[in-house]
């Protein structure tokens, strides 16, 4: 029997899909994470935007084109938010965003099984993927309730894994790079022990460690001191900004100012002068004026982001932001286009600094005849005459596609 687990959305979904694949293999399934012919499809959905929900529903139709008689199971934030939208498409099993490890128990059933409680945390399920970079999920849920975001209503309240379980998973997976991820990594708390204490338990590992997305409030000297104690910490911090305007940040219920954000960036650069600071920015939030948007562009220049994930604001029913009158779509598109121009300029500026420099790369996959991987500061590198899974020193030679060409340095 063949099963496909198809994932939309965030790194946390990817990690949870890996656990589902592990469970399916234990039940005797041959598995894949690519949409292709199968007897069983598990669609791990996303609801961060309306477009993400739409793509989640479309994935079902795409799967059934391969095998119209296959059994389809859905889980994730989109099905948690609106299970009926999936039931109407003939899906046999519907679960939600919580307790995905229970999905395996429902494979032979039919019906809707939506976990409502917020206290449950998935049991420890080491899940080895085929990749050299493993996502290590340390936390789920969120207590922030930003006015634009529906995820806390779907994932539930913040809850964290036990430190010993996180360590045990890294020992079992033995990755070349471990990305510490969660819905709100900054909220990690195991009986009073936070991120700094967690990091210090990683000192025995040789693999490269990288954070997923962090809230700026978690950037402290204690945390940065803990990163310095690791054998191989990647100098890359993804700090969620969302807007470079204090007025918009307040309207979004983001509990910091741009000045506070910038002070934390300066603190990081005291520890890691060549660090890559990347971020997320939403354009066209309902209260954003043209002046507010220009403040965001200016703040991007001030910080000097290495990369920006840009999103147009998507109204999510049930959030505080849904009560506000949205901006016209053409205004959001114009602002998104301008922000994308800023993104590419800043990204190229950062890349240019490293041409002729030597960095370390973990080679992850082969694309169009190139072996592709990421440097410690998260530059995407394309190599010839390299091996997938190799860890090597390279010299960046020229800008190429979404990163740089490089050659191996002996």
Summarised one tens digit per residue, pLDDT across range 325-339 is 999 999 999 999 999
183 φ/ψ angles, rounded to the nearest 5 degrees: -70, -40
Are residues 309 and 402 part of one domain?
Answer: no
8-28 residue pLDDT tens: 999 999 989 988 998 999 999
Query: Residue 381 is encoded by which pair of tokens?
Result: 């590198």
Are residues 77 and 28 part of one domain?
Answer: yes
Are residues 363 and 304 part of one domain?
Answer: no
The answer to whether 217 and 256 have CB atoms below 8 angstroms apart is yes
Are residues 261 and 164 part of one domain?
Answer: yes
Cα distances (Å, whole numbers) of residue 142 to 116, 155, 216: 15, 7, 15
CATH number of residue 69's parent domain: 3.40.50.12160
What pLDDT is stored for residue 368 in this prediction? Answer: 95
CB-neighbour burial class of residue 149 (10 A; exposed 0-12, middle 13-18, buried 19+): buried
Residue that is last in its domain, among 350, 366, 389: 350
Are residues 87 and 165 part of one domain?
Answer: no
Positive or negative torsion for Cα 275, 281, 287, 290: positive
372-388 residue pLDDT tens: 999 999 999 999 989 99
- Strands in 93-95's sheet, in edge-to-edge order, are 30-32, 2-7, 40-45, 71-76, 93-95, 111-113
- Residue the block writes with tokens 């529906």: 150
293 φ/ψ angles, rounded to the nearest 5 degrees: -65, -40
104 assigned to some structural domain: yes
What pLDDT is stored for residue 122 in this prediction? Answer: 60
What pLDDT is stored for residue 45 in this prediction? Answer: 97
Residue that is last in its domain, among 325, 350, 375: 350
CATH number of residue 368's parent domain: 2.40.50
Q: Structural domain of residue 313, as residue ranges? A: 133-350
Query: Residue 139 is encoded by which pair of tokens?
Result: 């936390």
What pLDDT is stored for residue 207 in this prediction? Answer: 95
SS3 content of the chain, % helix, strand, coil (to 5): 35, 25, 40
Are residues 168 and 70 part of one domain?
Answer: no
Are residues 332 and 208 part of one domain?
Answer: yes
Print pLDDT tens along the chain (410 aa): 999 999 999 999 998 998 899 899 999 999 999 999 999 999 999 999 999 999 999 999 999 999 999 999 999 999 999 999 998 887 999 999 987 888 999 999 999 998 876 665 566 555 666 678 899 999 999 999 999 999 999 999 999 999 999 999 999 899 999 999 999 999 999 999 999 999 999 999 999 999 999 999 999 999 999 999 999 999 999 999 999 999 999 999 999 999 999 999 999 999 999 999 999 999 999 999 999 999 999 999 999 999 999 999 999 999 999 999 999 999 999 999 999 999 999 999 999 999 999 999 999 999 999 999 999 999 999 999 899 988 999 999 999 999 999 999 97
Residue that is last in its domain, among 302, 334, 350: 350
Collect all residues with Cβ–Cβ distance below 8 Å to 52 and sequence separation of at least 6: 8, 9, 45, 46, 78
Please tell me the total count of domains within the chain: 3
The DSSP secondary-structure symbol of 362 reads E
What pLDDT is stored for residue 36 in this prediction? Answer: 97
Query: Residue 397 is encoded by which pair of tokens?
Result: 């030679």
Are residues 397 and 316 part of one domain?
Answer: no
Evaluate if pTM is beyond 0.85: yes
83-121 residue pLDDT tens: 999 988 879 999 999 878 889 999 999 999 988 766 655
Are residues 331 and 249 part of one domain?
Answer: yes
What pLDDT is stored for residue 100 in this prediction? Answer: 85
Q: Helix, strand or coil for residue 91?
A: coil
The kind and range of the H/E element at 200 are helix 195-200
């Amino acid at each position: 029997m063949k099963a496909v687990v198809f994932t939309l959305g965030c790194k946390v979904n990817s990690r949870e899909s890996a656990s589902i694949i592990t469970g399916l293999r234990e039940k005797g399934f041959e598995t894949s994470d690519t949409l292709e012919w199968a007897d069983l499809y598990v669609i791990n959905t996303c609801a961060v935007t309306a477009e993400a929900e739409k793509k989640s529903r479309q994935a079902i139709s795409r799967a059934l084109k391969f095998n119209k008689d296959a059994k389809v199971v859905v889980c994730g934030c989109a099905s948690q938010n609106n299970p009926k939208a999936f039931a109407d498409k003939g899906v046999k099993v519907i679960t939600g965003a919580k307790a995905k490890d229970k999905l395996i128990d429902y494979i032979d059933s039919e019906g809707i099984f939506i976990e409502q409680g917020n206290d449950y945390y998935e049991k420890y399920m080491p899940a080895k993927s085929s990749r050299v970079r493993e996502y290590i999920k340390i936390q789920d849920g969120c207590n922030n309730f930003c006015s634009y975001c529906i995820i806390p209503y779907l994932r539930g309240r913040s809850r964290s894994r036990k430190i010993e379980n996180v360590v045990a998973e890294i020992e079992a997976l033995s990755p070349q790079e471990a990305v510490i991820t969660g819905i709100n990594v900054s909220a990690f708390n195991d009986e009073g022990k936070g991120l700094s204490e967690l990091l210090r338990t990683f000192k025995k590992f040789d693999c490269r460690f990288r954070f997923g997305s962090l809230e700026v409030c978690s950037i402290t000297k204690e945390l940065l001191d803990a990163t310095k104690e690791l054998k191989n910490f990647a100098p890359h911090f993804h700090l969620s900004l969302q807007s470079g305007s204090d007025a918009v940040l307040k309207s979004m219920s983001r509990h910091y100012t741009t000045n506070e954000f910038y002070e934390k960036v300066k603190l990081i650069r005291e520890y890691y002068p060549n660090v890559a600071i990347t971020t997320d920015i939403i354009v066209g939030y309902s209260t954003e004026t043209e002046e507010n948007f220009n403040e965001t562009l200016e703040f991007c220049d001030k910080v000097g982001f290495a990369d920006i994930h840009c999103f147009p604001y998507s109204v999510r029913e049930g959030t505080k932001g849904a009560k506000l009158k949205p901006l016209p779509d053409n205004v959001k598109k114009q602002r998104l286009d301008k922000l994308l121009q800023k993104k590419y300029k800043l990204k190229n500026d950062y890349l240019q600094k490293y041409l002729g420099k030597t960095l370390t790369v973990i080679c992850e996959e082969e694309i169009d005849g190139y072996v592709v991987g990421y440097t410690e500061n998260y530059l995407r590198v394309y190599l010839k005459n390299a091996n997938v899974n190799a860890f090597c020193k390279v010299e960046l030679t020229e800008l190429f596609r979404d990163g740089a060409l490089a050659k191996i340095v002996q």
